[in-house]
């Protein structure tokens, strides 16, 4: 494999992203060498210039070059022990890295372009204009200056507007406003409660009972883990908001 080629491809996409975003590359591999066409330190300097963080999960052993790459870009280098350790490391890297307070991020103007298909004559997207990209009909058109781009998110090269889709905001919302942990409560031995998530009966003391302070609903072990790790929305709170509307 060639780590440098992979980094160059990722860099060509990420260098167009706005300065307030968190730019990260995750490499998962098992090779103990890298067949690169050039000097990888040059690529590392380019990554540092564009504030791109590189982390790696190695499946075999630690390689000095890979460790150097992660250290220079302020990323993390991990060598897994087993499948459980791999899952733990992978989930730890999914969480966005906290960023310092920035003036650029205090108020960000965004545009939400739709993918449209234009009539002839076809044009090249602005993101690959310098590289001599192919002519194509489809693209995302900036609502402010009408420049065309082939993918989102991106910062418009003409007017500087941040172009994103609603899905990008939805995916990052739970990191900005995380759901509060449920409280583990103690019920009398022999009593029971019903889980609001799966509607199953929770037997005490064989199973734990969790309580949401906002909607006053009970949850079992499985639903507590699912809500906080996957769903990121409390079903009881969501229903409560809909009822108020």
Residue 103 lies in a domain: no
- The strands making up 110-111's β-sheet, listed across from edge to edge, are 110-111, 162-163, 154-155
The enclosing domain of 214 has a CATH number of 3.30.40.10
In a domain, 102, yes or no: no
Q: What is the dihedral of CA 112, 151, 126, 23, to 10 degrees?
A: 90
**pLDDT tens figures, 127-167:** 877 777 678 888 899 999 989 998 888 888 888 898 998 88
Identify the burial level of 101 via C-beta atoms within 10 angstroms of its C-beta, where 0-12 means exposed, 13-18 middle and 19 or more buried.
exposed
Q: Quote the domain boundaries for residue 211.
A: 183-244
Q: In whole angstroms, what is the distance from residue 70 CA to residue 169 CA?
A: 28
Domain termination site, one of 62, 94, 126: 94
Residue range 36-84, pLDDT digits in tens: 888 999 999 999 998 899 999 999 999 999 999 999 999 999 999 999 9
- Give phi and psi for 28, each to the nearest 5: -120, 120
User: What are 166-221's pLDDT values in tens digits?
Assistant: 888 777 777 777 889 999 988 777 777 899 999 998 887 778 899 999 999 999 99
Question: Total domain count for the chain?
Answer: 3
């Amino acid at each position: 494999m060639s780590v440098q080629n992979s980094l160059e491809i990722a860099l060509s996409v990420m260098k167009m992203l706005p300065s307030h975003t968190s730019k990260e590359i995750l490499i998962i591999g098992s090779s103990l060498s890298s067949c690169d066409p050039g000097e990888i330190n040059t690529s590392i300097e380019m990554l540092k210039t564009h504030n791109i963080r590189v982390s790696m999960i190695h499946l075999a052993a630690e390689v000095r070059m890979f460790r150097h790459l992660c250290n220079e870009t302020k990323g993390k280098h991990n060598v897994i022990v087993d499948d459980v350790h791999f899952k733990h490391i992978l989930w730890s890297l999914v969480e966005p890295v906290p960023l310092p307070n920035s003036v650029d991020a205090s108020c960000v103007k965004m545009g939400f372009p739709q993918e449209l298909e234009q009539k002839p004559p076809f044009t090249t997207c602005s993101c690959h204009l310098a590289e001599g990209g192919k002519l194509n009909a489809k693209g995302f058109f900036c609502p402010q200056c009408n420049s065309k781009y082939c993918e989102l998110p991106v910062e418009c090269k003409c007017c500087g507007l941040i172009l994103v889709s609603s899905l990008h905001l939805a995916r990052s919302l739970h990191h900005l406003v995380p759901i509060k942990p449920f409280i583990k409560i103690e019920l009398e031995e022999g009593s029971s409660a019903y889980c609001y998530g799966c509607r199953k009966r929770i037997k005490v003391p064989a199973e734990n009972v969790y309580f949401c302070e906002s909607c006053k609903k009970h949850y079992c072990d499985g639903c507590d883990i699912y809500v906080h790790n996957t769903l990121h929305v409390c079903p009881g709170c969501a229903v409560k908001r809909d009822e108020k509307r």
